[in-house]
Amino acid sequence: MKSKTVLTGLAMTLCLLLVANSGYAGALDAFKDETGSLKIAGGTAHIPVMQEAAKRIMTLNSNIQISIAGGGSSVGIKQVGEGLVDIGNSGRKPTDEEIAKYGLKLFKWATDGVGIVVHPKNSVRALTQAQVMDIFAGKIDNWKALGGEDKGINVYTRDEASGTREVFWEKALNKGEITTRANFVVSNGAMKSAVSQDPYGIGYVSVGHMDETVGPVSFDSVAPTLANVKSGEYKIARGLFSNTKGDPTGLAKKFIDYLFSTEGQEIAAGNGFIPVN
């Protein structure tokens, strides 16, 4: 029930309608006479955008069925490569190996960052890279050492298939260790829920997913905001990709075109990402 997001999206659309002719009716028109189904799977950060787009398309034309699954970036790449889904989302750029093996075509429709989060009541809000590496490796295990309360640090991490994890591990942890004591969660949404419920927890989540239920932590004095990701100051950034096996056709092609259209980009912006257009 993202009423807030839908309202924002609608408001922006209305403004656009007043200002320009393109956009609204045009983008969805492409789906008017289509039938069939579209399977999407992969990155969990993309899911809110996928769900909103699917909702609009299916409301317009109830003959289309779009199913959306999560699983993580590696799952998206693998499944689209094997032909199990039509569009595979990933929060990291597929490796050259993967592109060659599956003949993938990449479509980056937004930029996002990966930020460290803690519970909103936690007073520790700025960490250096060295501290972050030590926390996630388990070397620093009490908030006291960071100026917080005398309580143990509960580390939360993502599963191996996650693109968010991959990006965080490469850019923030410099490919360092993640402690075996860390609790595992299965998606960005799950990370958000877990950290927002644990007063002594710490984790990492897509910047687009951050809201008032979690407390963002500055990394080397740069806050994980959209502005900083856009300007390039915040280093832990990644693109949001939708990949297809070979050139997209039919419903998949229309869906990807829709993501790049004004309306699609609005949905991305409305969900906290930085659209490419």
- Select the residue interacting with another protein from 88, 91, 163, 201 (CB under 8 A): 201
Least distance in angstroms from the C-beta of 256 to another protein: 18
Kind of pairing, strands 104-118 and 154-158? unpaired
Q: Is the dihedral of CA 206, 211, 217, 220 positive or negative?
A: positive
153 or 269: CB nearest another protein: 153
29 or 160: CB nearest another protein: 160
Is residue 62 near another protein by the rule CB under 8 A? yes
Is residue 74 near another protein by the rule CB under 8 A? yes
Q: Which residue has the tokens 């687009």?
A: 208
170: three-class secondary structure by DSSP = helix
> Rounded to whole angstroms, what are the CA distances from 63 to 27, 33, 35, 41, 150?
17, 9, 5, 20, 57
Sort residue 237 into left (φ over 0), alpha (ψ -120 to 50) or beta.
Answer: beta
Is residue 37 near another protein by the rule CB under 8 A? yes
- Select the residue interacting with another protein from 34, 141, 159, 257 (CB under 8 A): 159
Is residue 171 near another protein by the rule CB under 8 A? no
Residue whose C-alpha is closest to residue 156's, from 123, 116, 210: 116
State the binding string over 219-238 for another protein (x if CB under 8 A, else -).
--------------------
Least distance in angstroms from the C-beta of 171 to another protein: 16
Cβ neighbours of residue 163 closer than 8 Å, sequence gap 6 or more = 43, 45, 72, 73, 74, 90, 91, 92, 238
Is residue 114 near another protein by the rule CB under 8 A? no
Residues within the interface to another protein (CB under 8 A): 1-2, 37, 39, 41, 44, 47-48, 50-51, 54-55, 58-59, 62, 65-72, 74-75, 78, 83-84, 151-152, 154, 156, 159-161, 179-187, 189-190, 192-194, 197-198, 200-201, 213
